[in-house]
């Protein structure tokens, strides 16, 4: 077969991800697609995978993709005639201590929230299912009956055959050497066998995806890491349908294979492979066996399955796999290039993810939009920080090492810190700040009182910061606090056509008179919320946009992708401004005493922006709040941030001003019912469903992105609606993903959970679903409960903010 001169879509890489993507492009979209593989199919990481297929993750969308995989693997052989080795053996996860057990109780709840069955079973039941196991140290286990295992090479060959059957052409022995570009658009792919013109490229290059990306100017932050497992000789008494086993407290996993066991693990001291380029000729290759390094797993595995002591080892597999800094894979449209899509960095669950990820990627490539909320895996969650190879390597190894550690709520990574600090870093440290990190920025989470060590101590219940954060919270409600939010992403949109462009992109009316600021969503073609931010009109042709720290690349790319052309420019000005949010009933008194500007309510109303002078510097003051109190966001030329902080702290002394951290911000916003993008509001949710219809300019006649979808939804009963819940029991800890029960039936799950210190209750938010419609009557008539760590606890629903009216001082 000769390489064509032209193809609509070129998929690079013949591992499971490339083959699955090509299969779905051909099957679902009848696309003109070719797949290029430098060696032979499966010869990268795929052929040596162990083949465990688990489905449950903490993200609903990733879980949905993994469920898609299983659905596909069940039926693929029927379609293609090539077996996949799929066996629905179920999966056991073992718990040997109370914290792990609570983790599983929460996992079982998450599974139920996501529509999956997961049971918690006793050590005796484990023993009955897996007689070779020593269960003497077990507290119990979780049992997910629909998990299983498959043969990685067979699935991939079956997908490749399916792709061909639907018209895709697959070329082995064709290496991509570079790209012909027109600006930031690929026009052709250069190979060792000629040049192919194309419209779109999908980079499924596995551990090579980083270097393939570089050739088109994009960053794919992954790190190859050595991962080992052994295959034993036959074990007497091991059933061929034995469930797969994960034993995280002993950092190991097991899978039956031809009567013997596959056994591997996640060590706390993983070994990175190269931080340079991966060699091109790494085809069906492995590293040398490293029994010294593997010994830590063997010792643990023998303790769990004593029969392993005498079992012969048939083979050791020591192969490279790409891991990422946050343990999630990388999918979607690269922000630096107009037509390269990526599916890579699968963190040793590429076989489990392959079917679903290939489906999602194919939809994304053809539709130019993610088909559902895929923020957790979106390539746009990264930033310039992730071009630092050393940083990526360190953080990735930390994430690998934590693969099987207990997932405590609110846990922070420790490696590669501090990386980016605000100008106030040393000052806040002197105030005993305990920092967290977000997209490389150090941010104060809370402040330790004198006599308390300034560090997080994690636990499954209330953690050590619970009390101090309550004091910070109360201080903002009753007096005034100062948040360092310098890490906010900030952009300017300028030019004669800026207003028209933003009018198209924003769901709310942001084209207001100069000096006004507007809270708005940006919507996709389904009316789903792609971003949630504020837009301030500084002058006629200049707008200032502020959004969350983590959304910097994503939101900028979304805006840039959808600007309508003409005289309009988007500039990222994040590092040009420090941001201090002065919030609380006494905020006006403090601000009034450091500026000559009139900050009275008459002269400086809510939703306005003004330039005011503080400590001799010109500061952009935005009257806005995320905590439900009177307040201003002060955007300060970055070099002057320290001066302004000092001036505010000094002037604020008589009013009790104190620095406050992000954990208090979270509890304050939960009480006030402000939605958080990425959890409460996502590309899956429309503003109507989210209760944000008031921020949509449907009544204005102007067209805007997502309008058609919203018009189709307007006036019809909504099938899901965002609602709040409170729990009175002070011992209940909400962390998100708890199941919502209405009259005993599952109707949804929490997208956010935490504690409201002013109301003195745990608070959660989530969508209540009902195919027949969710009106106020339906919502308010039910009896509600939440499933929290597998326990049913009574809850009350609320459709308005949970604060008492006297606390609602925002507009005064």
Site string for ligand FAD, 52-71 (x = CB under 6 A): x-------------------
Structure tokens given for 393: 């390597």
Q: Report residue 485 as tokens.
A: 């939010």
Stretch 174-233 residues interacting with ligand FAD (CB under 6 A): 175-176, 204-208, 212, 227, 229
Q: Is the dihedral of CA 716, 800, 780, 106 positive or negative?
A: positive
What are the two backbone dihedrals, phi and then psi, of residue 516, each rounded to the nearest 5 degrees? -100, 150
Kindly tell me which residue out of 50, 133, 163, 587 binds ligand FAD, with binding defined by CB under 6 A: 50
- The Cα 199–Cα 366 span in angstroms is 11
The helix/strand/coil state of 84 is: coil
- Output the smallest distance, CB 725 to ligand FAD, in A: 35
Residue 792, both tokens: 């049913």
- CA 174 vs. chain centroid, Å, equals 34
Restricting to residues 352-381, which ones interact with ligand FAD according to CB under 6 A?
A: 352
- Residue in this structure with the two tokens 């910070």, named with its chain if needed: 472
CA distance 539 to 536: 9
Nearer residue to ligand FAD within complex by CB, 275 or 618: 275
Strand partners, 143: 92, 119
Among 348, 522, 630, 787, which residue sits at the site for ligand FAD (rule: CB under 6 A)?
Answer: 348
Q: Which stretch binds ligand FAD (CB under 6 A): 138-146, 346-354, 649-657, 686-694?
A: 346-354
Nearer to ligand FAD, 16 or 533 (CB): 16
CA torsion, points 385, 391, 392, 396, in degrees to nearest 10?
-130
Dist. CA 499–CA 397, nearest whole Å: 45
How far apart are the C-alpha atoms of 492 and 488, rounded to whole Å?
13
If the CB atoms of residues 22 and 640 are measured against ligand FAD, the closer one turns out to be: 22
Shortest distance (Å) from residue 670 CB to ligand FAD: 36
Query: Which residue from 25, 32, 34, 43 is in contact with ligand FAD, where contact means CB under 6 A?
Result: 43
* All residues at 6 or more sequence positions from 416 whose CB lies less than 8 Å from its CB, including other chains: 391, 394, 395, 440
Out of 44, 265, 578, 766, point to the residue binding ligand FAD (CB under 6 A).
44
* CB 401, CB 268: distance < 8 Å: yes
- Residue 89: CB minimum distance to ligand FAD, A: 13
- Indicate which single residue of 25, 31, 34, 49 sits in contact with ligand FAD (rule: CB under 6 A): 49
- Which x/- pattern, by CB under 6 A, does the window 2-41 give for ligand FAD? ----------xxxxxxx-----------------xxxx--
Least distance in angstroms from the C-beta of 759 to ligand FAD: 44
Nearer to ligand FAD, 55 or 508 (CB): 55
Q: Is 346 in the site for ligand FAD (CB under 6 A)?
A: yes
Judged by beta carbon, residue 204 or residue 559, the one nearer ligand FAD is: 204
Interface with ligand FAD: number of residues (CB under 6 A): 40
How close are the terminal C-alpha atoms of the chain, in Å?
A: 74
Q: What is the dihedral of CA 68, 71, 77, 83, to 10 degrees?
A: 80
Q: How far is the CB of 34 from ligand FAD (least distance, A)?
A: 11
Both tokens assigned to 112: 């139920």
**Residue 708 neighbours by CB distance under 10 Å:** 13
Q: Which stretch binds ligand FAD (CB under 6 A): 350-358, 399-407, 546-554, 641-649?
A: 350-358
Of the pair 37, 738, the CB lying nearest ligand FAD is at: 37
Rg (CA), the chain: 27
Q: Cβ 281 to ligand FAD, closest distance in Å?
A: 10
Choice from 350, 578, 661, 683 touching ligand FAD (CB under 6 A): 350
Stretch that binds ligand FAD, among 45-53, 444-452, 512-520, 721-729 (CB under 6 A): 45-53
Nearer Cβ to ligand FAD, position 39 or 631? Answer: 39
Q: Which is nearer to ligand FAD, 207 or 574 (CB)?
A: 207
Q: Does 400 interact with ligand FAD (rule: CB under 6 A)? A: no
**Among residues 333 and 641, whose Cβ is nearest to ligand FAD?**
333
Closer residue to ligand FAD in complex, CB, 305/624 = 305
Tokens of 6: 């032209």
Q: Applying CB under 6 A, does 328 fall inside the site for ligand FAD? A: no
Contact 145, 117 (CB under 8 A): yes
Structure tokens belonging to residue 176:
């991509």
Residues 6+ apart with CB under 8 A from 2: none
Considering the complex, state which of residue 85 and residue 592 has its C-beta at the smaller distance from ligand FAD: 85
Strands 739-742 and 745-756: antiparallel
Please give the residues from 293 up to 322 whose contact with ligand FAD meets the rule CB under 6 A: 317, 319, 321
**C-alpha closest to that of 782 among 752, 720, 740, 722:** 740
Q: Which of 25, 27, 45, 614 binds ligand FAD (CB under 6 A)?
A: 45
In angstroms, give the least distance from the CB of 271 to ligand FAD.
12
Q: List all residues 6 or more positions away from 535 whose beta carbon is below 8 Å from its beta carbon.
A: 502, 506, 510, 517, 518, 520, 543, 544, 545
Q: How far is the CB of 275 from ligand FAD (least distance, A)?
A: 17
Q: How far is the CB of 395 from ligand FAD (least distance, A)?
A: 19
What contacts 748, CB < 8 A, 6 or more positions away?
A: 113, 720, 739, 740, 766, 767, 768, 769
CB 307 within 8 A of CB 134: no
Binding interface with ligand FAD (CB under 6 A): 12-18, 36-39, 43-46, 48-52, 175-176, 204-208, 212, 227, 229, 317, 319, 321, 344, 346, 348-352
């Amino acid at each position: 077969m000769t390489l064509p001169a032209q193809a609509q879509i070129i998929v690079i890489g013949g591992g499971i991800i490339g083959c699955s993507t090509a299969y779905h492009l051909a099957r679902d979209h009848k696309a003109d697609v070719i797949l290029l593989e430098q060696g032979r199919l499966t010869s990268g990481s795929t052929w040596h995978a162990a083949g465990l297929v688990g489905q449950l993750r903490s993200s609903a969308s990733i879980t949905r993709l993994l469920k898609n995989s299983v659905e596909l693997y069940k039926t693929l052989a029927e379609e293609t005639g090539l077996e996949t080795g799929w066996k629905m053996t179920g999966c056991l996860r073992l718990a040997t201590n109370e914290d792990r057990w609570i983790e599983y109780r929460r996992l079982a709840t998450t599974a139920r929230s996501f529509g999956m069955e997961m049971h918690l079973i006793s050590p005796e039941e484990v023993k009955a299912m897996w007689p070779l196991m020593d269960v003497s140290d077990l507290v119990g286990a979780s049992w997910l009956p629909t998990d299983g295992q498959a043969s990685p090479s067979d699935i991939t060959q079956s997908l490749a055959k399916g792709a061909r059957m639907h018209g895709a052409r697959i070329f082995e022995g064709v290496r991509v050497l570079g790209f012909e570009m027109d600006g930031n658009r690929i026009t052709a792919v250069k190979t060792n066998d000629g040049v192919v013109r194309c419209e779109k490229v999908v980079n499924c290059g596995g551990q090579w995806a980083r270097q393939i990306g570089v050739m088109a100017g994009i960053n794919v932050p992954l790190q190859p890491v050595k991962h080992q497992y052994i295959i034993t000789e036959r074990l007497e008494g091991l059933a061929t349908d034995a469930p797969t086993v994960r034993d995280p407290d002993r950092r190991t996993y097991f899978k039956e294979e031809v009567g013997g066991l596959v056994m591997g693990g996640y060590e706390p001291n993983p070994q990175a492979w190269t931080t340079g380029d991966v060699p091109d000729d790494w085809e069906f290759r492995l590293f040398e066996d490293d029994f010294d390094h593997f010994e830590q797993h063997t010792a643990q595995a023998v303790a769990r399955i004593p029969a392993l002591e005498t079992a012969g080892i048939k083979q050791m597999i020591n192969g490279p796999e790409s891991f990422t800094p946050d343990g999630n894979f990388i999918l979607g449209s690269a922000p630096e290039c107009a037509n390269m899509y990526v599916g890579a960095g699968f963190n040793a669950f590429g076989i489990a993810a392959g079917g679903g990820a290939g489906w999602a990627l194919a939809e994304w490539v053809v539709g130019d939009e993610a088909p559902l909320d895929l923020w957790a895996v979106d390539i746009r969650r990264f930033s310039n920080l992730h071009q630092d190879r050393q940083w990526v390597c360190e953080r990735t190894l930390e994430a690998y090492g934590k693969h099987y550690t207990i997932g405590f709520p609110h846990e922070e990574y420790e490696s590669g810190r501090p990386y980016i600090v605000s100008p106030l870093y040393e000052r806040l440290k002197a105030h005993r700040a305990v920092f967290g990190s977000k997209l490389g920025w150090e941010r104060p989470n809370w402040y330790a009182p004198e006599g308390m060590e300034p560090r997080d101590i994690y636990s499954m219940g209330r953690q050590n910061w619970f009390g101090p954060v309550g004091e910070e919270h109360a201080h903002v409600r009753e007096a005034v606090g100062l948040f360092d939010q310098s890490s906010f992403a900030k952009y300017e949109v300028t030019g004669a056509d800026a207003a028209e462009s933003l009018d198209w992109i924003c769901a709310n009316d942001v084209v207001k008179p100069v000096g006004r600021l507007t809270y708005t969503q940006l919507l996709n073609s389904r009316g789903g919320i792609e971003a949630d931010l504020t837009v301030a009109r500084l002058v006629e042709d200049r707008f200032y946009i502020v959004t969350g720290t983590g959304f910097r690349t994503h939101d900028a790319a979304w805006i840039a992708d959808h600007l309508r052309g003409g005289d309009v420019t988007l500039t990222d000005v994040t590092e040009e401004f420090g941001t201090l949010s002065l919030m609380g009933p006494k905020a006006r008194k403090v601000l009034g005493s450091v500026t000559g500007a009139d900050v009275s309510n008459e002269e400086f109303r809510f939703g306005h922006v003004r330039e005011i002078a503080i400590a001799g510097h010109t500061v952009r003051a935005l009257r806005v709040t995320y905590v439900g109190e009177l307040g201003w966001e002060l955007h300060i030329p970055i070099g002057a941030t320290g001066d302004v902080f000092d001036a505010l702290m000094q002037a604020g002394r008589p009013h009790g001003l104190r620095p406050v951290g992000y954990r208090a911000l979270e509890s304050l916003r939960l009480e006030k019912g402000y939605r958080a993008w990425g959890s409460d509001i996502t590309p899956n949710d429309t503003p109507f469903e989210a209760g944000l219809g008031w921020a949509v300019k449907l009544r204005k006649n102007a067209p805007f992105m997502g309008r058609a979808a919203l018009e189709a939804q307007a006036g019809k009963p909504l099938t899901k609606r965002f609602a709040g819940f409170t729990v009175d029991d002070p011992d209940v800890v909400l962390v998100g993903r708890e199941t919502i029960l209405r009259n005993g039936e599952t109707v949804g799950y929490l997208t956010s959970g935490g504690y409201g210190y002013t109301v003195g209750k745990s608070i959660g938010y989530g969508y209540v679903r009902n195919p027949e419609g969710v009106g106020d009557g339906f919502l308010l008539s039910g009896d509600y409960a939440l499933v929290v760590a597998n326990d049913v606890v009574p809850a009350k629903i609320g459709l308005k903010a949970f604060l008492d009216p006297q606390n609602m001082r925002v507009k005064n």
